[in-house]
Structure 1
Amino acid sequence: MSSVASWSYTAKATVWRRLPGKDEYGDPLGYAAPEIIFCDYIAGLSAKIGSLGKEVVVKNTFFTEYALANEGDYIFIGESSEADPVVAGADEIRAVTRWGDTLEILTDDWALITGI
């Protein structure tokens, strides 16, 4: 962890990564054991109802140096040892963005964005 991240990413979150592959119905084969990561986060907007139905909008954005998360994984504010992310109350990661470590050029930063 970069020295800048060590003072800015002080909160903890739990990530469940999707196992590779899908079953005969196209659903994930399950999730790996939960991993605790260091991060910071902000709350986002909420669902928006329009004439065409419910629009998915940002719920939470997590800032971290954790590079292994992908769309379809789940994340939860705080620590959880629950094997099932849905039971734990986790949110699905809908988008992942990456940017460079501007100050120390050691480890890239990531934004993990959840939706409703």
Structure 2
Amino acid sequence: MSSTAAWANTAPCTIWRRLDGYTEAGDPLGYDPPLEIMCDYIGGLSEKIGSIGKEVVVKNTFFTEFALAKEGDYVLIGASTDPDPLIAGADEVAHVTRWGDTFDRLADDWAIITGA
């Protein structure tokens, strides 16, 4: 872990990684067991007003060195052992971005963005 991440990513969060593939009904096959990762986060609900009304855009952004998150996973502020991310109250990952470790060049940094 980079010195910056060790200083900043001090909050335990939980991620449920979506299994690849879908059932015949089009539902996800399920999720890996919950995994605790270290993050920092900001919350806030944004709205965009367009020609057809308001659209909610972002709920939370999680900053982490965890590189395996992808759209369709679920993430939660805090620790959870619940095998079901929906019951645990987790939010779906809508987007993941990556940028370089500017100071130490040990591990890239990631933003896991949830939608509402």
TM-score computed with the length of structure 1 as normaliser: 0.93
Compared with structure 1, are the counterparts of its residues 78 and 104 closer, same or farther at alpha carbon in structure 2 (3 Å cutoff)? same
Task: Give the Cα separation in 1 of the matches to 2:5 and 2:99.
Answer: 13
Matching of residue 85 in structure 1 with residue 85 in structure 2: yes
C-alpha deviation, 1:52, in angstroms: 3.0
Matching of residue 30 in structure 1 with residue 66 in structure 2: no
Compared with structure 1, are the counterparts of its residues 58 and 104 closer, same or farther at alpha carbon in structure 2 (3 Å cutoff)? same
C-alpha deviation, 1:47, in angstroms: 5.5
Q: Residue in 2 aligned with 1:8?
A: 8
Helix, strand or coil for the counterpart of 2:59? Answer: strand
Helix, strand or coil for the counterpart of 1:58? Answer: coil
Q: Residue in 2 aligned with 1:68?
A: 68
Q: RMSD across aligned C-alpha pairs, in angstroms? A: 1.5
Alignment identity in percent?
Answer: 67
Which moves more between the two structures, 18-27 or 90-99? 18-27
The letter for the 1-side match of 2:26 is: G
Matching of residue 41 in structure 1 with residue 41 in structure 2: yes
Structure 1 stretches of 4+ with a deviation exceeding 4 A read 46-51
Q: Residue in 1 aligned with 2:98?
A: 98
Task: Give the Cα separation in 1 of the matches to 2:60 and 2:21.
Answer: 27
TM-score computed with the length of structure 2 as normaliser: 0.93
Structure 1's unaligned 5+ residue stretches are none
